[in-house]
Homo-oligomer: A and B are copies of this chain.
Amino acid sequence: MARKQGSHSDITGPKVQAAALRLIAQHGFAAVSMRQIAAEVGVQAGALYNYTPDKQSLLFELMRSHMTDLLAAWDTADISGDPLARLEGFTRFHIHFHLPRADQVFVAYMELRNLSPENFAQIEAMRHRYEDALEEILRAGEAAGVFKMADTRVTTMALIGMLTGLSHWYRTDGRLETATIEAIYWDLVRKAVAA
């Protein structure tokens, strides 16, 4: 019979994820030990194995849930309209979603090489779905004559790179609000693909 709500399990589980995310983002997966994560949670190392079968699965679950959240949020966002409006929607959605999730973005980008081949393939597939969403918008705009690019696939990767790079230097305590950043980046994106 399972424990009721409020039992330690329901509290410790999320704590493990949060501690692992923070520590891995800061020091890197290979540099963080299970004992460090356990200490941050306030338990012994052995207790972590009630919440993950092993260290690799812990990393994978962090990345998988981040990508799942991203794709779910994108589906919910329901960006529609003409290609220009959809491109603006994608740009603002990307920034709005990623800026408050600095640790997740960091881990999802930096720790890909520490995933097992099977786990890597799953994350990569999800990332690809997200990239394809942008590429589809660009192709629609190209077909409609409102966008003009030398190479659509390369432009997709270039814009994704520009948007993702933002998470690597933006600081929430800096001089710029999220809304300001959104406007600046949208200006760059819009002009870059303008017909």
Contacts and interface: CB of A to CB of B under 8 A. Distances in A.
A68 to B, nearest CB: 22
A81 to B, nearest CB: 23
A47 to B, nearest CB: 24
Nearest to A185: B158
Interface of A: 26-31, 110, 113-114, 149-151, 154-155, 157-162, 164-166, 168-169, 176, 180-181, 183-185, 187-189, 191-194
Contact of A192 (B151, B154, B160, B192): B192
A16 B114 CA distance: 23
A190 B114 CA distance: 37
Contacts of A155: 184, 188
